[in-house]
Amino acid sequence: MSVKNQFSKYAKEYQNHNIIQQIVAKSLVRELNFKPKRILELGCGSGQVFSHISWEIDFYKAIDFSASMCELHPKASNIEVKCFDFDTQEFINEIKSDSYDIVLSSSALQWSKDLSKIIKHLSYITNEINAVLFTSNTFKTIQNITKIKSPILDEFSIKKAFSKYFKCEFETIMYKLEFDDKKELFDYIKKSGVSGGNTSLDFKEAKKLYKEYNLNYLEFEVIFVKTISKL
C-alpha cells in the first residue's frame, strides 16, 4: 500500500462544495486499464463518474439513494438510472440476475452499514470493481478536537470487506484543501457532503472548534480500490 499526500489550493472556488469528489471521480475513470461496455455504478449522484466515460458503452446502470440526484443523471436508451439504497435487499434483488464488465463507485460506499455484504453480492455479477471511498480519517483534526468519532468507515474495515472476496490493490491518498479564511473553511464543512461528525455539535462545542481549529486546510483521506481477481 502506498500513501500519498496531495495539497490543493481551491479557496477561490470554495462555493463548489464537492471539489474532492470531482477529483476522485475523474481519477477513478482515468485509472481504468480497459474500456468496459457494461457498467454498474453505485452512488451515481448527478453523473460525475459518467461524465468521464469517453468511449461507447452498451449498457450503464446508475444507482443512487437520492431521487433528486437520479433525476439529474444523464439519461439515454442504454442508460438505466434507479433509486436504491445499496444496503437493502431491494437493491440486491435488482442486480442479482445482472452481469457487468465492471462495477464503479466513487465517494459512496463508505456510508454502507454492511460493506462486506455488498461486495459479496457484487462478486456474483462482475469480475472487476474499481472504487474510491472516503475513510474515517477525513476531517481527522476536527475529530481530535471535538472527540466525536467519524460516522464513515475506517481504512481497515474497507480493506477487510473487499479482501474477503477479491485480491485487491489499495492506494490511500490524503488531500488537503486550503482556504483563505476560517469562515470559508467551516462553510465548506457544512456543504461538502462528507460529514466529519461535527454536525451534532451544540453552539458551545461549535464555538470551541472554531477557536481551536488552527489549520488553514481541511483533510480528506480517500482509498482507491482496484480488484485484481476473485478469491
- What pLDDT does 119 receive? 98
- What pLDDT does 110 receive? 95
How, if at all, do strands 129-134 and 166-178 pair?
unpaired
Exposure string of 86-115, with b = 16+ CB inside 10 Å and e = fewer, is bbeeebbeebeeeebbbbbbbbbbbbbeeb
C-alpha cell at 73: 443523471
Contact present, 167 and 227 (Cβ < 8 Å): yes
C-alpha cell at 146: 471535538
pTM over the 0.85 mark: yes
d(CA 110, CA 107): 7
Contact present, 16 and 192 (Cβ < 8 Å): no
C-alpha cell at 88: 437493502
- Strand pairing partners for 51? none
- What pLDDT does 199 receive? 53
Angle, CA 3 vertex, CA 27 and CA 190 arms, to 5°: 65
Q: Which residue has the cell 459512496?
A: 108
Per-residue pLDDT of the chain (231 residues; tens, 9 = 90+): 333 444 344 334 434 668 889 999 999 999 999 999 999 999 999 999 999 999 999 999 999 999 999 999 999 999 999 999 999 999 999 999 999 999 999 999 999 999 999 999 999 999 999 999 999 999 999 999 988 889 899 999 999 999 999 999 999 999 999 998 988 888 887 776 565 444 567 788 888 899 999 999 999 999 999 999 999
Contact present, 86 and 65 (Cβ < 8 Å): yes
C-alpha cell at 124: 456474483
d(CA 112, CA 118): 8
Give the CA distances from residue 82 to residues 32, 68, 74, in Å, rounded to whole numbers and listed in that order. 24, 11, 12
d(CA 123, CA 121): 5
Domains of the chain: residue spans and CATH: 2-230 (3.40.50.150)
Return the DSSP state at 124.
Answer: T
Instruction: Please list, in sequence order, all residues whose beta carbon lies within 8 angstroms of the beta carbon of residue 125, skipping any fewer than 6 positions away.
Output: 40, 95, 96, 98, 99, 100, 103
